[in-house]
Chain A
Amino acid sequence: MFERKTGAELTVGGSRAWLSVIRLLPWLLVAPLFLVPFGAAVSAWSFGATPSNQASLVDRLLAVLSSPSILAALRFSLVQALMSTILSLALGLPGAWLLARHRFRGRSLYAALSGIPFVFPPVLFSLGFVRAWGRNGLVNAGLMSLFGWQKPPLDFAYSLSGVVIAHALLNFPLVVALVGAVWSRLPRTPEDAARCLGAGEGRILTTITLPSVLPGIAAAASLVFLYCFMSFAIPLTLGGGPNFATLEVSIYASVIGEQNFAKAGTIALLEGCCAVGVLVLYSLLNARSAAASTDAPAERVPLSALRPSARRLSVAWLLASGAMALSPLFALLVSSFTRVGRWGGAPTWSLESYFKTFTDPASLRAMVDSALLALVVAGLGVGIATLLLIGERRSGRTGIRGVFFALPVALSSVMLSLGYLVLFPLGASVGVLAIVQATAAYPLAWRALSAARSRIPAGLDEAAMLLGASRPRTLATVDLPLLRQALLSSFALCAAISLGEINAALMLNPADFPLLGLRAYRLMGSYQYPLACALGVIVCLFAGLAFAAADRLSDEAR
């Protein structure tokens, strides 16, 4: 109990002052990145107030808040997020159990699906979703040719169900990974003890296992809820009209459509408060579920050890859910190699979309500019994350500091962009776009780096210092080499996030700066699916390239 082994105590002599300066830096440099634009965005709700009616600012706020369109957006945001979360849990929990307790071929691949919501741009996911599950999508085409039907049987893509199903397909692998991780860290002995005491498997599940996994499920659910509540690209493309607009989409519509900054600011305040609340809830739940687990994982049994019926069901579930998660990517790829038949004829295989893309100067420029922007954003994002990491105690991203610097997860890039539009009324530059994207991306990089550092044994820094290494030398010879892989992969992660990002790009819309995600979105809007899909595939290739390069470089270090 008293064997204190935290590196947090390395505060001897002169390094104390040095450390406090480092600890202060994030508050001075990183906090303004989201606090200033969010403050500016929220301040916009008072726009248009004349001195004569300033006394009624609160009344005005209440009036805007109770306006039918905002209430409808709030209701839609909450309802679709709740439904999406429930569906994500339903799709994810069986996979979490299989992942936590079983060995099977392709297990790590199935777990890796959880990278999709982070790496795959939502706008491209939405595009792929429409190509897979839409009226003219692959699934309908398959069903029609299989059963000889004349009309497409599935028609839900552009509706509330479409938004919910797309969200669930995007996020359920996250449930699989998060809950699976908590589940697999549960010690197995209490279950064995219950078994010896005569409890049946059903009783063990309800009295021993589920109560222990519940905090983990709740944490995953709150995170998925947050992502769906703040979702932008999917409701924008699938929801369409004002009836199916989330708060996030309403901010965009108020600014771009109505030029009504006061309304946008009010919505930002409303959405920001809700989202921060959910983020805090998630952090509390996550801390609880982490506390409930041990580090010694239970042994996994091979799937073949299950009863034949259970085994077949498990395999079918894994294949079906995996295929569903991958269906938008697959449809995107297939669709990019097709040409729409004339006058609504059947599509045919073709390289036309790629040919058009690579001969179109605007598309080529979008590739170059997007790639350059992605590199800048990745540099900024990893830089911010590293700054946070250096100043933080080993115990990591828990506590108030951890929640505070994760705020960009809850203060969306749409809100931050609104703030920059308020701050720079004459139009935003590419630099602002890069900063907004980096602000949105750094929490993920920070999380990855923090996790990597917590895997470095605490004694290594101390051993280096006792052997005569100074703080900077310790950092350079021990911590950075051990973090190299995580640094490179978070760089690739930030680059991937930037590549297909449209939230800030649409809001800020820097003049004369075409971007791949934006172009794909516009092409999708004009139903030029093969072209849009080809751009989507190129975005994926770029992102894949970034990850491959990161992998290659970290391999070389070994």
Chain B
Amino acid sequence: MSFLEIESIQKDYPDFSLEMGLSCEQGEIVVILGPSGGGKTTFLRIIAGLIAPDRGRIFLEGKDITGLPPRQRGVGMVFQDFALFPHYDVAGNIAYGPKAHYPRSEPKQLAAQVEKLLERFSLPGFGPRRIQGLSGGERQRVALARALAINPGLMLFDEPLGSLDATLRKELRGELRMLQREMGYTSISVTHDQEDALAVADRIVVVRDGRVVQTGTPEEVYARPKTAFVATFFGDANLIPMPDGLRFIRAEQIALASENPSTANLSLDITVSDIEYRGRDYLVKGQSNLGKDPLQLCFRMAHRPRVGDSVRIAFPESSLLPIMDDREIIKGV
């Protein structure tokens, strides 16, 4: 049995139902990804014990924890808004867990433990600071230190980077990876941001409408999406209707015929209808005879193409992957 084994958990609400399973190995970083309202957070809260599932069981290290209250699970959680206790200082927040677990612990020992954690999170001397005076990044680190102070085998992150600005996000993504390597915990986090998921995860679980759509490494999920929903959720995807079903190709796999002659054995002409400059390249949309949806492709050329230009593009036929069409359902979301 895996480190964490979740056997098809079910939870019914009047307007929504959730049915998801998951198993993960020790030390794995799993990211649950999906649009908001898909039941990700509910699933995370069921693992934490904050919501009781209607059916299904959860095993942590072989032990059935389904009926265990949150405080006996030994699971760490970092909340989206961090949920720091405003009436305790930084040290009081970090010491909260150890104190709850060992009410008779030695104060000196506890203080030393807190100080060690503060140093690990580059917050030396922050112990007596009030929560209200901390910046977003500092709060994030205090929340991490507080959750890790009880040495949880499993850490849960609810949109861990959600409330931070773009620069801080990138910085903390790296820090989270480093921290996990150092502490060796198993991590399950929830996000609606594809970039965060691709950057951090060992394994991505794509979730929609309370169901798992696809599970795989970031590379698998990006390059070989199972459904049209997953394909369009990551990056710029072209969905091309063929007589034998829907096919998929990423925008960056299509190039100018003149640029990419060797492997590309399929070529066609498009009329440019829209151009988006993205720094490293142009995302070009153009009408082709492959259906009424415009084709998206990336141009890495020095000058800007113009709307109305007719250009010849090419791509290898082998990169046109068959894909499951679940677009009709997408519109209902």
Chain A residues within CB distance 8 Å of chain B: 1-5, 9-15, 457, 459-460, 462-470, 473, 477-478, 481-482, 557
A-B contacts, 26 listed (Cβ < 8 Å): A1-B16, A1-B37, A2-B37, A2-B210, A9-B45, A10-B50, A12-B49, A12-B50, A12-B51, A12-B68, A12-B69, A459-B83, A460-B85, A462-B48, A462-B77, A463-B77, A465-B71, A466-B70, A466-B73, A467-B149, A468-B71, A468-B97, A468-B101, A478-B85, A481-B87, A482-B87
* Contact of A14 (CB < 8 Å), options: B16, B69, B74: B69
Q: From DSSP, what is the main secondary structure of chain B's interface residues? A: loop
Which 4 residue pairs are nearest across A and B when measured between Cβ atoms? A459-B83, A467-B97, A468-B100, A463-B83
Please judge, given known A-B contacts A3-B42, A9-B50, A12-B50, whether A466 and B37 are in contact too, CB under 8 Å.
Answer: no
| Bound form: Cα–Cα A482–B39 in Å | 31
| Interface mask (B210-229 → A, CB under 8 Å = 1, otherwise 0) | 10000000000000000000
| Bound form: Cα–Cα A375–B86 in Å | 30
B71–A469 touching, CB < 8 Å: yes
Which residues, 50 to 90 on B, are CB-close (under 8 Å) to A?
Answer: 50-52, 67-77, 79-87
| Bound form: Cα–Cα A463–B149 in Å | 13
Please judge, given known A-B contacts A12-B50, A459-B83, A482-B86, whether A466 and B75 are in contact too, CB under 8 Å.
Answer: yes
Whether B273 sits at the interface, judged by CB under 8 Å, is no
Given contacts A4-B13, A9-B50, A466-B76, 20 further A-B contacts (CB under 8 A): A2-B42, A3-B37, A4-B42, A457-B83, A459-B79, A459-B82, A462-B77, A463-B79, A463-B146, A465-B71, A466-B48, A466-B71, A466-B73, A466-B77, A466-B147, A467-B100, A468-B72, A468-B97, A477-B100, A482-B87
Whether B38 sits at the interface, judged by CB under 8 Å, is yes
B87–A464 touching, CB < 8 Å: no
| Bound form: Cα–Cα A459–B44 in Å | 14
The total of interchain contacts (Cβ-Cβ below 8 angstroms) comes to 107
Closest to A557 in B: B87
Whether B96 sits at the interface, judged by CB under 8 Å, is yes
| Bound form: Cα–Cα A478–B37 in Å | 29
Please judge, given known A-B contacts A3-B42, A4-B51, A12-B69, whether A467 and B81 are in contact too, CB under 8 Å.
Answer: no
B79–A462 touching, CB < 8 Å: yes
B67–A457 touching, CB < 8 Å: no
Whether B260 sits at the interface, judged by CB under 8 Å, is no
Please judge, given known A-B contacts A4-B42, A10-B50, A473-B100, whether A457 and B37 are in contact too, CB under 8 Å.
Answer: no
Interface centre among A1, A460, A463, A477 (most CB of B within 10 A): A463
B residues near A557, Cβ cutoff 8 Å: 87
A3–B41 touching, CB < 8 Å: yes
| Bound form: Cα–Cα A468–B99 in Å | 9
* Contact of B16 (CB < 8 Å), options: A2, A10, A463, A478: A2
CB distance from A455 to the nearest CB of B (A): 10
| Bound form: Cα–Cα A463–B42 in Å | 15
Tier of interface size on chain B: 35 or more
| Interface mask (B286-310 → A, CB under 8 Å = 1, otherwise 0) | 0000000000000000000000000
Please judge, given known A-B contacts A2-B16, A459-B83, whether A477 and B96 are in contact too, CB under 8 Å.
Answer: yes
| Bound form: Cα–Cα A469–B93 in Å | 13
Chain B residues within CB distance 8 Å of chain A: 13, 15-16, 36-39, 41-42, 45, 48-52, 67-77, 79-87, 96-97, 100-101, 146-147, 149-150, 210
| Bound form: Cα–Cα A464–B49 in Å | 13
B residues near A2, Cβ cutoff 8 Å: 13, 15-16, 37-39, 42, 210
CB distance from B210 to the nearest CB of A (A): 8
B residues near A464, Cβ cutoff 8 Å: 85, 96, 100
| Bound form: Cα–Cα A14–B70 in Å | 11
Closest to B87 in A: A481
| Bound form: Cα–Cα A1–B36 in Å | 8
| Bound form: Cα–Cα A1–B71 in Å | 27
CB distance from A27 to the nearest CB of B (A): 24
A9–B51 touching, CB < 8 Å: yes
A residues near B101, Cβ cutoff 8 Å: 468
A residues near B15, Cβ cutoff 8 Å: 2
| Bound form: Cα–Cα A466–B79 in Å | 11
| Bound form: Cα–Cα A297–B159 in Å | 26
B residues near A460, Cβ cutoff 8 Å: 83, 85
B residues near A14, Cβ cutoff 8 Å: 69
CB distance from B89 to the nearest CB of A (A): 11
| Bound form: Cα–Cα A10–B69 in Å | 9
A470–B71 touching, CB < 8 Å: yes
B residues near A463, Cβ cutoff 8 Å: 77, 79, 83-85, 146
Closest to A477 in B: B96
